[in-house]
Structure formats: structure tokens, C-alpha cells
Amino acid sequence: MDSLPFNPSSGSTDPLAPLLDLEPSIGSFFLGAIACVGLTGVTTLQAWLYFQRYPQDTVYLKILVLFVWTLEILRSAISIHGGYYYSVKHWGNLLALSKPIWSMKLMIMLTNVVELTVHGFFINKVWQATYGRAKILCILITLFALGDFAMGTVSYVLAVLESSYFNILRGTPSRYATAALCCAIGADWLITGALVKFFRSNKSEFPRTNRVLKKLIFYAVNMGLLTSLADVVVLVLANYPGWKSLNFYQLTVFEIVGNLYANTFLACLNARDMVSEGLSLDPPPLHTFSISFSRSGFGNSNGTTHSSSRAGGGGGGTASQGSHVSSADFEKSEIDDIDMVIRFRCQSHLPNSSFS
């Protein structure tokens, strides 16, 4: 019976005891379907917020958002179909419970397409963020993403040809699915590492800009960890050798993997408002600084110090001349005191390609 997705009753005398133990299989799949539908609601909300906030985005990006959202609706629909088929329409039919249905197989392919789409989006972000200089890295990430899609597609095709859950979950399709998950994890980690390295390398002396960069690093790390952690959990559950009977635990987590990728993609787009708020500054002049110094012989006979104060927006050549004053311009013995106070306010924007 370990090749079937259910176990007979344990012989309990409890009149309420189930005739079949479906909790590890159909029960876990049903819980995954509920989680999938709930996360699709989050995806729908994020898609609606995107179209409300960013009507100026390109048509290409809008089509991409619609495409990902449509895939998530389809994934939710087939999750509901699987739960209804086993728990309502064919409840108690042992033959039906032991046969995999088309919707559960199609879940594999739709998830592959979602992962490929999101990976492609983030590969483009890495390419833009590095200004095309990280060619080898982008090629490597692309190979991992394509490997994920190729192995997942082979797993789906082989699953379509199988007629038992045991052959799908313990046979050749499972091995290709394992390879696909490894490729997906590699792509997620490389994308996260590339974005974190780029943001860290752009740190400057401006505290507000650095706070924004820290926020972007936080987003990048959490997005990469969220998707890769789900893939790791599926990988562990699918290859754990201690299972005594067939179960759908890995399918339960796999149902929400596509949701996590889709929500990560939309969260990246919708986070632009929060990032731009961190960069917005008050209207004072772009550059404001004042320099005051005293030098023996520069003041009057009473030692009164002359001071020079300039604003970056005015003063013409005089301000420019003052900005070049430093201790290196005078002999050390001639300097009584140099007091330089520089107040610099700069509205700095990261490249638009990092957010849109």
C-alpha cells in the first residue's frame, strides 16, 4: 500500500475514524490549494496597486504583470479543481484517488513558466544595474534559469505519460524535478548576490542615500531568501528517505512556489514608491557650504579675522575660488587657525533601471 496516496484505516473501533487516511496526501494537497488561493489574492491586490500607481510604465511591463497575474489565476483554478476532484466528486473511489489527474500535472508546467518569467525580469535588472558590465554573471544566471525551465518541462512531460503517483513522485519525473529545483535555487542566490553587491558598491557619504541602499539590500535579500527557501523545502520533502508511505507534502509546498515568485516580482515593482520617498529631500539649494579661515597677515593689524562665506548657487568665480582653499595652500607655520565647515545637501537618485 506504500505505492498508493492513501492508507487503510488502522482498525480503530472509533465510529468516527476515517475509512482511509487521506491526511498525508489529499489532505495536505487541499491545504496547499487553500494557501495558493490566498496568496493569489495577495497577487491580485499587488497587480491592482501596480496599475493604480504606475500608469506611466511601459506597455511591455504592463503586459508582463498581466501575464504573471493570469498564470496565478490559472494555478489557483487548477488547485481548486484538484481538491474538488478528490475530496468531493470522487470521494471514496479508491481507483480515482490512486490516479493522478491532469490539473495536478499542469501545476508543474505553469509554475515553471512563472519562475522563468520572474527570473528573466530579475536577470534584466541585474544587467541594467551593472550597466552591462557583468556579462558572465548574467549568462550564468540565464543558464541556471533555462536549466530550471528545461528540467521542469521534462519532468512535466514525463509526469503526463505516467499513470500512478508512485512513478511520478518516486521515479524519473521526480529526479528531473530535483534538478530543476537545484537550478532555481542557484539562480535565486546569484540574482540576490549580484543585486546586494551592486547596492553595497554604490554607498556614498550621504546618509539618506545609504539608508535607501540598505532598504534595497533588505528587499533583495528577503526576496531571494523567500523563493529559494521554498525551493529548498520542496527539495528536502521530495528526497527525504524516511517516509514510510507515499505523501503529497512536497506538492503542498510546491503549490505556493509560483505564488512566492509572482509576489516577489510585483513587490519589487510596487516598492519603488517607498524607495523614492527615502530619496526625496527638502527644496534647499543643491550645494551649500561655507568656509571660514584665519591666517597671520591676512587679517588687520588687530588680528581681526576676515571670513568668507559662499553659497553654491551664487557668487560665481569667488565661490569657486573659496571651494579650493585648503591647509595645503599655506605654510603650516603661518596658519593660526583653519576652521572649515562644509554643509552639503545633495539630491541623489540611483539609476532608474534599479527600480523599474
Radius of gyration of the chain (CA): 30
Burial of 86 (0-12, 13-18, 19+ CB in 10 A): buried
The residues that bridge with 20 in the sheet, in sequence order, are 8
**Whether pLDDT at 290 is above 50:** no
pTM of structure = 0.71
Residue 20 DSSP label: E
Residue among 314, 325, 261 nearest 122 (CA): 261
- Model confidence over 162-209: pLDDT tens digits? 888 888 888 888 899 999 999 999 999 999 888 888 877 777 676 776
pLDDT for the residue numbered 147: 95
The three cell numbers of residue 319 are: 565661490
- CA dist 26 and 30 (Å) reads 6
pLDDT on residue 332: 38
Mean pLDDT across 264-284: 69
Identify the CA nearest to 308 among candidates 293, 327, 325.
293
| CATH of 19-279 among 1.20.1070, 1.20.1530, 1.10.760, 3.10.520 | 1.20.1070
15 burial class (0-12, 13-18, 19+ CB within 10 angstroms)? exposed
Is the model's pLDDT at 232 over the cut of 60?
yes
Whether the predicted pLDDT of 156 surpasses 50: yes
Q: What is the pLDDT of residues 304-355, one digit of tens each?
A: 444 444 344 444 444 444 444 444 443 333 333 333 332 333 333 344 444 4
Q: How do the domains of the chain map onto residue ranges?
A: 19-279, 286-313+325-356
Contact predicate 130/181, CB 8 Å:
no
Q: Where are the alpha helices (DSSP H) in 202-271?
A: 207-239, 249-270
Longest dimension (CA), the chain: 111
CA distance 43 to 114: 13
Give the count of beta carbons closer than 10 Å to the beta carbon of residue 137.
Answer: 18
**pLDDT value of residue 97:** 76
pLDDT band at 17 (very low <50, low <70, confident <90, very high): low
pLDDT at 21 > cutoff 90: no
Does pLDDT of 297 surpass 70? no
Q: Which tens digits make up the pLDDT trace of 105-149?
A: 899 999 999 999 999 999 988 888 777 788 899 999 999 999 999
